């Protein structure tokens, strides 16, 4: 019989939230176990910061901000387990059982658990998004941070969200400016600055940073087109051309590399696999796990950072510390004045930051009818090659929810486990059945949350 390893507190994810939680617990003398998919701590935003491959002038100030946190994490007394896949979670007694693969499979039991699994880029279908040569901006940025890899050709960047401009600016600083930036957010979005003066004031640093980046791109001769409302990638074996609609007219540009970004959403799989209730948040255009002001979803489970709602790296760091304080309070069993004061300060700062983020949500909102106007042969599920037309026909035939539609079409059964198509399927169902996103819901997530080989399971370690 395999004996389960034990942890008083386990953390999943070594991004800003997970690192901050682990450091705060270690400061209090608690020895957490932290599982992370990556080889080094930092998550996506601070990836490779402990051993940077690209100079500070290319990556920018936000990347450098995380250095003190990464260094504090390296010094702290933490059972850090990189390259670990948590492929299933289940409740057992008052705690949680975890299936972990770190070279080989292991079983763990955690009395308390912090989910800090972060965010992922939104899957957003358009014709040709499955072609070789079409990548997400986040994937391109990983190559830049982790390997100092730049594209061999000037890419076209398209989509909506701050990362679109950040990557374009980083490529410019690295000497490989993009050929064109296509912004798919509404051209009228800047009216929000007049309608939301309080949020504009709180978000002034975000706005100034964006203005400076766009100005730098335009000074370098990079065209930046606002209000683009259609995009297609064309080619036989790989992308050869990018078509886009601007001011009512379609235009075509030769291109060998198209990098897209349509915002980020909480990574859903681990939280969904625990059947944590989620709700559709209109501002973020995403399903968010229901959690309290102190980030608790149940007595011994907390969700911190962008996995609970997109707030950015600084907010994720605060939420990690806040979750750690709640763990310490739980371990103490009674109110602690010092913890209460620290909690109050973190919550005030968190509310201020999230107020500013609401403005970004307005500025980079995606078109609500995007999916319905795509051609019928546009793939919704790339893993199983399921088109929008096939999804629509399955709905007509009686697929009333995401899980029925999965059975009808195999949409969501591929290697990504529905990460890329889940939101699109829910949106199409909501539109066709005239129901809310909350009424439609999402796929039922079952293990394995990450791919696991039979060899890894057969080599499970005895403890």
CA distance 23 to 325: 11
Q: Are residues 186 and 254 in the same domain?
A: yes
pLDDT at 121 over 50: yes
Query: Quick check: is 349 in a domain?
Result: no
Query: Which of these three, 238, 262, 286, is where a domain ends?
Result: 262
Between 136-145, 178-187, 434-443, the lowest mean confidence (pLDDT) is in: 178-187
459 in a structural domain: no
Residue 279 domain-assigned?
A: yes
User: Could you tell me if 379 and 416 lie in one domain?
Assistant: yes
Per-position b or e across 291-312, b if 16+ CB within 10 A of its CB:
beeebebeebbbbbbbbbbbbb
Q: Is residue 51 part of a domain?
A: yes
pLDDT digits (tens, 9 = 90+) for 344-389: 999 999 998 888 888 888 888 888 889 999 999 999 999 999 999 9
**pLDDT at site 2:** 56
**What is the tens place of the pLDDT at every residue in 400-422?**
999 999 999 999 999 999 999 99
pLDDT tens for residues 377-400?
999 999 999 999 999 999 999 999
What is the pLDDT, as a whole number, of residue 460? Answer: 65
Whether residues 138 and 231 fall in one domain? yes
Domain of 389, in residue numbers: 371-440
Do 305 and 393 fall into the same domain? Answer: no
Q: Which residue has the higher pLDDT, 456 or 67?
A: 67
Task: Based on the fold, state whether residues 290 and 378 are members of the same structural domain.
Answer: no
Residues 236 and 130 in one domain: yes
* 410 domain residue, yes or no: yes
Do 138 and 325 meet the contact criterion of CB atoms below 8 Å apart? no
Tally helices (H) and strands (E) across the chain: 17, 22
Contacts of 353 (CB under 8 A, 6+ apart): 311, 312, 314, 315, 318
Query: Can you tell me the mean pLDDT for 134-154?
Result: 95
Give the pairing of strands 278-281 and 104-115: unpaired
More confident call, 151 vs 359: 151
Is pLDDT above 60 for 101? yes
Q: Where are the alpha helices (DSSP H) in 265-414?
A: 269-273, 313-332, 337-363, 388-396, 402-409
Q: What is the residue-averaged pLDDT of the chain?
A: 92
| CA atoms of 428 and 437, how far apart (whole Å) | 10
My answer on whether 197 and 223 are in the same domain is: yes
d(C-alpha 123, C-alpha 260), whole Å: 10
Q: Classify 32 in phi/psi space as left (phi over 0), alpha (psi -120 to 50) or beta.
A: beta
CA 61, 62, 68, 71 torsion-angle sign: negative
What band does 1 get if pLDDT is binned at 50, 70 and 90? very low
- Tell me if 344 is assigned to some domain: no
Instruction: Say if residue 247 is in the same domain as residue 182.
Output: yes
pLDDT at position 363 is: 86
Q: Using the predicted structure, report yes or no on whether residue 202 has a pLDDT greater than 90.
A: no
- For residues 150 and 249, membership in a common domain is answered with yes
Q: Any alpha helices (H) in 76-223, and if so which ranges?
A: 137-147, 162-173, 191-195, 197-202, 204-219
Reference 165, options 334, 363, 440, 399; nearest CA is: 363
Residue at a domain's end among 245, 262, 279: 262
In a domain? residue 353:
no
Return the CATH number at 145.
3.50.50.60
Q: How far apart are CA 294 and CA 297, in angstroms?
A: 9
For the chain, the straight-line distance linking the first and the last C-alpha, in angstroms and rounded, comes to 10
In this structure, the answer to whether residues 327 and 435 fall within a common structural domain is: no
Q: Structural domain tally of the chain?
A: 3
DSSP class of 372:
G
What is the C-alpha separation between 418 and 412, in angstroms, rounded? 4
| 159 in the same domain as 285 | no
Same domain, 137 and 112: no
Q: 153 pLDDT exceeds 50?
A: yes
For residue 461, the model assigns a pLDDT of 54
What are the beta bridge partners of residue 102? 104
The answer to whether the beta carbons of residues 154 and 50 sit under 8 Å apart is no
User: What integer pLDDT is reported at residue 4 of this predicted model?
Assistant: 76
Q: How far apart are CA 201 and CA 69, in angstroms?
A: 28
Residues 6+ away with beta carbon under 8 Å from 232: 126, 127, 128, 242, 243, 244
The sign of the CA dihedral 384, 390, 391, 393 is negative
Condensed to tens digits (0 to 9), the pLDDT of residues 221-245 reads 999 999 999 999 999 999 999 999 9
For residue 417, the domain's CATH number is 1.10.10.1100
Percentage, residues of the chain above pLDDT 90: 79
Domain contains 463: no
Structural element, H or E, at residue 454? helix 454-458
Q: Residue 3: which pLDDT band, with cuts at 50, 70 and 90?
A: low
Grade residue 456 by pLDDT with cuts at 50, 70 and 90: confident
């Amino acid at each position: 019989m395999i004996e389960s390893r034990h942890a008083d507190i386990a953390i999943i994810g070594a991004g800003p939230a997970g690192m901050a939680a682990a450091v705060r617990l270690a400061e209090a003398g608690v020895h957490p176990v932290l599982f992370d998919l990556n080889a080094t701590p930092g998550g996506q935003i601070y990836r490779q910061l402990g051993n940077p491959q690209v100079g500070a002038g290319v990556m920018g100030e936000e990347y450098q901000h995380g250095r003190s946190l990464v260094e504090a994490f390296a010094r702290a007394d933490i059972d850090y387990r990189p390259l670990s896949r948590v492929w299933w979670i289940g409740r057992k007694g008052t705690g949680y059982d975890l299936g972990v693969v770190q070279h080989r499979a292991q079983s763990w039991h955690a009395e308390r658990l912090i989910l800090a699994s972060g965010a992922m880029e939104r899957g957003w279908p358009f014709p040709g998004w499955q072609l070789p040569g079409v990548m997400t901006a986040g994937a391109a940025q990983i190559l830049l941070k982790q390997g100092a890899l730049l594209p061999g050709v000037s890419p076209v960047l398209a989509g909506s969200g701050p990362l679109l401009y950040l990557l374009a600016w980083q490529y410019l600083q690295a000497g490989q400016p993009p050929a064109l930036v296509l912004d798919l957010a509404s051209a009228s979005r800047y009216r929000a600055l007049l309608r939301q003066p309080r949020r504009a004031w709180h978000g002034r640093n975000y706005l100034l940073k964006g203005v400076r980046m766009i100005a730098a791109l335009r000074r370098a001769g990079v065209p930046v087109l606002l209000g683009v409302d259609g995009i297609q990638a064309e080619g036989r074996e790989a992308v050869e051309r990018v078509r886009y609609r601007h001011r009512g007219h379609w235009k075509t540009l030769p291109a060998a590399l198209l990098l897209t970004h349509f915002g980020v959403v909480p990574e859903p799989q681990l939280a969904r696999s625990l059947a944590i209730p989620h709700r559709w948040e209109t501002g973020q255009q995403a399903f968010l796990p229901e959690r309290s002001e102190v980030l608790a979803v149940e007595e011994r489970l907390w969700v911190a950072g962008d996995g609970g709602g997109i707030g950015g790296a600084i907010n994720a760091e605060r939420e990690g510390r806040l979750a750690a304080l709640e763990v310490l309070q739980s371990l103490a069993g009674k109110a602690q004045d010092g913890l209460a004061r620290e909690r109050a300060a973190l919550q005030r700062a968190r509310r201020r930051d999230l107020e500013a983020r609401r403005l970004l949500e307005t500025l980079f909102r995606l078109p609500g009818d995007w999916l319905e106007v795509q051609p019928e042969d546009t793939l919704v599920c790339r893993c199983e090659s399921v088109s929008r037309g096939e999804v629509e026909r399955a709905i007509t035939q009686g697929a009333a929810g995401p899980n029925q539609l999965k059975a009808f079409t195999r949409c969501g059964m591929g290697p990504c486990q529905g990460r890329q198509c889940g939101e699109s399927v829910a949106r199409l169902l909501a539109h066709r059945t005239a129901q809310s996103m909350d009424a439609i819901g999402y796929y039922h997530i079952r293990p394995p949350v990450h791919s696991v080989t039979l060899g890894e399971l057969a080599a499970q370690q005895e403890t």
